[in-house]
């Protein structure tokens, strides 16, 4: 089968890898000059398989007013006249309850654990050129109440397949001495030894190198997809390819994995995908002689900031700005990340006044209101979606690619396909 994939971020490249392994003829079309140059470029670096709970949780709505009043808050909201934003927010509010959050978490964990197995198989049998390491992860709590709540969840998390343990202040610092500077602020931490880190952009480059010389695979960067071709009526038509500046690229199936750019591409087909960008930021700080830098991945629960050591750098990422989209860098957000890093790890000491050192980045993470990605066939025959992974794109990429490939081949997927149905779009 000839399959055209629109988008060469980590979702699109993972999908290409999996479909090529099934023997399909695959063409990846990407407007950028290379793979992984947008949302996948400088994400948080954590492959956080056990922490996939959606943003829409039972306690989120009560926190939003306080967050919106703080300049350094983990979430910001900028109203837009676009009705799509308000539809997204209304659906998000409906999902902010315990029953919906727990159901979503169970589904995402199954997909995440499948993705973890596939990543480990990939690393065991493939290149080691994207900073992959199994470092484990600490969720650090500064508030006794939030730590107690996390401890109460341990048995539930264990029933879903997570392997975690609660650590008191001294045990936390003993495991990660880089946290000694805030010892007095630590209420406790949850340790997950199995969590991993890697560089998402370099992973995309690695996949591109592996696919480059593979028969039947073409990677066409600098190619802007202008439309999706369909023959027949809206009810009985099917997709026949995509339209570019160079003409029409024919295909038996088209997979749209273009993040937020997919919204406008799908609209002429009558598909209204429920995506809104969660704008996130990161800095990448060089580690000098290992001084003061953590070895284990850290998530500061109160600040919603993640720290991942990738090689000789520390990737610091966070924030969720619900804004209508561009990737312009807000220097105040970068200053917040730099300041929090200095406060937590004095030995790293990034200079907020030195952009070259910080390597600031911002990206638009395409999110659904519920937190469940859309993976599978759409209502239009021959058109498939792999969209809406939010902040979990890297974590869920290989599992999502496997789910889509299984469904395309008519195989029974390793996870429940209906959990991620794209038919409602």
Tokens of 162: 């997570």
What is the pairing mode between strands 253-256 and 2-6? parallel
- Residue 329 makes CB contacts below 8 A (sequence gap 6+) with 281, 360, 361, 362
Listed in sequence order, the DSSP H helices in 126-178 are: 144-152, 154-159, 169-175
pLDDT at position 164: 95
Give the number of other CB atoms < 10 A from CB of residue 164: 21
pLDDT at position 127: 75
Each residue's pLDDT, cut to its tens digit, for the chain (425 residues) gives 999 999 999 999 999 999 999 999 999 999 999 999 999 999 999 999 999 999 998 888 887 777 766 767 888 887 888 899 999 999 999 999 999 999 999 999 999 999 999 999 999 987 789 999 999 999 999 999 999 999 999 998 999 999 999 999 999 999 999 999 999 999 999 999 999 999 999 999 999 999 998 999 999 999 999 999 999 876 678 999 999 999 999 999 999 999 999 999 999 999 999 999 999 999 999 887 766 889 999 999 989 999 999 998 999 999 988 887 789 999 999 999 999 998 998 778 676 556 667 899 999 999 999 999 999 999 999 999 999 999 999 999 999 999 999 999 999 999 999 999 988 76
Are 283 and 127 spatial neighbours (Cβ–Cβ below 8 Å)? no
Out of 3.40.630.30, 3.30.9.10, 1.10.274.50, 1.10.287.1080, select the CATH number for domain 54-96+134-195+276-367.
3.30.9.10
Residue 65 is classified by DSSP as: H
Are 424 and 230 spatial neighbours (Cβ–Cβ below 8 Å)? no
Give the number of other CB atoms < 10 A from CB of residue 8: 30
Give strand pairing partners of 331.
none
What is the pairing mode between strands 2-6 and 25-30? parallel
Tokens of 276: 């809104």
Residue 25 is classified by DSSP as: E
Segment holding 202, helix H or strand E = helix 200-212
Q: Please state the domain extents for the chain.
A: 2-41+201-274+370-420, 54-96+134-195+276-367
Q: How far apart are CA 377 and CA 253, in angstroms?
A: 10
Listed in sequence order, the DSSP H helices in 380-423 are: 393-409
Out of 3.90.1150.110, 3.60.110.10, 2.130.10.10, 3.50.50.60, select the CATH number for domain 2-41+201-274+370-420.
3.50.50.60
Q: How far apart are CA 302 and CA 156, in angstroms?
A: 22
Are 225 and 163 spatial neighbours (Cβ–Cβ below 8 Å)? no
Q: How far apart are CA 189 and CA 166, in angstroms?
A: 6
* Nearest Cα to Cα of residue 317 among 309, 306, 301: 306
Q: How far is CA 295 from CA 166, 176, 309, in A?
A: 19, 7, 6
- Residue 382 makes CB contacts below 8 A (sequence gap 6+) with 238, 239, 240, 251, 252, 253, 254
pLDDT at position 292: 81
Tokens of 407: 């469904």
pTM of the model: 0.95
Q: How many residues does the chain have?
A: 425
């Amino acid at each position: 089968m000839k399959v055209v994939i629109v988008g060469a971020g980590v979702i699109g490249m993972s999908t290409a890898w999996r479909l090529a392994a099934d023997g399909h003829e695959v063409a990846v079309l990407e407007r950028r000059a290379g793979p992984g140059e947008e949302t996948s470029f400088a994400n948080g670096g954590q492959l956080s398989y056990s922490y996939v709970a959606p943003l829409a949780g039972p306690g989120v709505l009560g926190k939003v007013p306080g967050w919106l009043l703080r300049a350094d808050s983990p979430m910001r909201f900028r109203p837009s006249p676009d009705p799509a934003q308000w539809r997204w927010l209304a659906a998000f509010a409906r999902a902010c309850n315990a029953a919906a959050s727990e159901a979503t978490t169970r589904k995402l964990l199954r997909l995440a654990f499948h993705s973890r197995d596939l990543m480990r198989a990939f690393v065991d049998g493939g290149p080691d050129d994207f900073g992959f390491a199994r470092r484990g992860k600490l969720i650090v709590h500064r508030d006794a109440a939030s730590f107690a709540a996390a401890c109460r969840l341990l048995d539930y998390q264990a029933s879903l397949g997570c392997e975690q343990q609660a650590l008191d202040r001294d045990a936390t610092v003993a495991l990660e001495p880089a946290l000694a500077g805030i010892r007095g602020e630590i209420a406790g931490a949850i340790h997950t030894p199995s969590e991993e880190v890697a560089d998402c952009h370099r992973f995309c480059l690695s996949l591109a190198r592996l696919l480059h010389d593979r028969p039947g695979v073409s990677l066409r960067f600098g190619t802007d997809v202008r439309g999706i071709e369909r023959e027949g009526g809206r009810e009985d038509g099917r997709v026949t390819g995509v339209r570019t500046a160079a003409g029409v690229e024919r295909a038996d199936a088209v997979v749209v994995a273009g993040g937020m750019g997919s919204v406008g591409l799908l609209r002429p087909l009558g598909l209204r995908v429920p995506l809104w960008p969660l704008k996130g930021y990161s800095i990448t700080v060089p580690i000098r002689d290992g001084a003061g830098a953590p070895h284990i991945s850290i998530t500061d629960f109160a600040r919603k900031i993640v720290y991942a050591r990738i090689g000789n750098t520390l990737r610091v990422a966070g924030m969720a700005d619900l804004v209508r989209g561009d990737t312009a860098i807000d220097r105040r957000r970068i200053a917040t990340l730099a300041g929090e890093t200095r406060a937590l790890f004095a030995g790293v000491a990034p200079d907020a006044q030195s952009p070259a050192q910080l390597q600031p980045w911002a990206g638009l993470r395409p999110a659904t209101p519920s937190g469940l990605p859309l993976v599978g066939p759409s209502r239009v025959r021959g058109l498939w979606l792999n969209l809406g992974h939010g902040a979990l794109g890297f974590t869920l990429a290989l599992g999502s690619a496997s789910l889509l490939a299984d469904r395309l081949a008519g195989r029974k997927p390793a996870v429940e396909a209906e959990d991620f149905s794209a038919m409602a779009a």
